[in-house]
Structure 1
Amino acid sequence: MTKNSIAAIYDFELFPYALGDVLTWNVRTAMRCEEMGRELVDIYICADERYPAGIYQRGLVNPQNFELFFSELYGAFGTHPKLGNIHIFRQREALLEKLQELVAEDAVNAEAVSDYLSVLEYRVSESTLNRVRRVLSKALRSNRYVREAFNRCLPSQVKAAVRETCLPNEEMLNNYFIKYIHSHESINEFAAQRGGIPLLRPALGCVPDIEEIIARRFAGKKIVPFHLRLRRLDAGYGGEHSYARDSDFLEWYDFLKDAGRRHPEVEFIALGRLQEKPIELLNLPNVTSLRIFGMGLGHELTLMLNGDLFIGTSSGFAALANFSLLP
């Protein structure tokens, strides 16, 4: 930590394992860095097996598998526009001790650390009662008719009471998430005032690999990364609530097959987990995936920034295109 940097905290009990959210957080904390007159952002990640996930992902992420989710997502932090150092803490107590030292050394970090310490008081514990509350809440949220009746028919006082019963402290946790990640209004305001936003960069340590594969495997090709979202094929990772965002495989298949005939100079790079990619797709001569070469998310994000065009559905990969100059 230097006088040219600020601290940014990503605790996986408070923030999700989600590519789009990490990339948005990268941009938001880079914006704050500029507003504070600093040059770099030092990232402090808490990945504690005792608190592996937040209230919305506990049915999916647990102490036995959280390291898998973290290792898959880690490369996204390396795209930070103002990346300084990345610190990973396996025990929250060690992180809290370090943060107290940072505040004592530099008051610029006081707000972020104070917000973090405050929201920890609203954590939702993994008690039996809270597990029952989450199951009830999930059942209510997943039923469209119940949601519509809840939103349209119940008085605001009753709705507030139901929310407090099903997910106590949810509002405080959501407000923290909105302040540090979700609010795109603040991104638009920043861009209007300053003429732009900090743009995402190639992932840390991935540039040499991508330069080599472009030179050897994709030489002379136009590179078009694309994201075909088929979460239904990867059911073990959850996400039933987002199946509506899935793509139509046959439409994509016909498009890519036709593009191969009409534009043989284009190489399409399928992004994301191989579990979501039907073998018929990867067998097309103009389609490949970096994952089959042993590369990961950081490599894919770096390749995107070297691509000629991105095509994709609503997903974290689209967030990178949104926060970069990639068409």
Structure 2
Amino acid sequence: MSKLFEPFVLKNLELKNRVVFPPCCQYSALAKDGMPTDWHFVHYTSRAIGGTGLIIIEMTNVEDRGRISDQCLGIWSDDHIPAFQRIIEECHKYGAKVAIQIGHAGRKAQDAPEPVSCSPLAFNDQFTTPHELTTSEVEAMVETFRKGVERAIKAGVDTVELHGAHGYLIHQFSSPYTNKRTDKYGEDKFLFGEEVIRAVKEIMPKDMPLMMRISAVEYVDGGYQLDYGVEMAKRYRSAGVDLFHISSGGEGPIGSAGRPGVHPGYQVPLAERIKQEVDVPVIAVGKLDHAPLAEAVLGNNQADLIAVGRGILRNPYWANEASIVLDKKPLTPKPYERAY
């Protein structure tokens, strides 16, 4: 068996293979309430049927003003729980495990009448200047994250991923480029993230791992480099993160946007260094949709799991096709067997 299709176990999370469908915003929620729709049901279930081991539901926001757009998902109300539960239960029928990415867009909330952030700095001249959260408002935001994760657990997720990357709220606090505060959340730029981690760990089952996506480097003048990303991972690991999903960028361009230039596996060295120095399992992501390359990353012990975004968006059966390439056998359910 190839490495890509070996099982992976972390605490009580048991994956049938190491293929991950990372969070990919669909901008297809009901605008009024952030509710998942039939689009999301078909979208995620298709990837489960296609053989994906772990599906991470797209960035789902802890409050209405925290959505990237009015078409983004939310989990700020118990009313959201049944729609997510329906999706998760259906994916489970095909052997996939399901995570959800819990986040808040902060200053990058494009449709919010008044976005919020750690400091009153607009993302660019096309964005509204955010309200600077007071110290007490930041403390309340920690509780808002906790409640969002609590609802996700009630919906039946197998694990949770906090979004600390791509220039969204936790990243905004973590980055010296955006965090210009003078209170305790400015003096210690990792404090907000640590408090969110500890708060959600308190209500998560003890044997459920917590994942976190971070940007290991920033692609902007004055942004941090990999040494800082390693320090960040160490702090968040100590606070309770069990696995990191290693991406990059966001305060300037996100790496996948093509700047400062991308190639197959361009983020793998970032994942590898954090895996080695922080002694933590990692998901590698970024231009890894060529099955032999994904296999090589695992075989070289550079990562533990492989996230394939655009490849699985193009083809819900990417894992099935990769299995044919690497192991000469399909993964599809019995009704499709005669196709092979």
TM range (shorter): under 0.3
Bigger radius of gyration: 1
Q: Per residue, is there more helix in 1 or in 2?
A: 1
| Larger RCO, structure (CA 8 Å, separation 6 or more) | 1
TM-score (norm 1): 0.28
Q: Which has the higher strand share?
A: 2
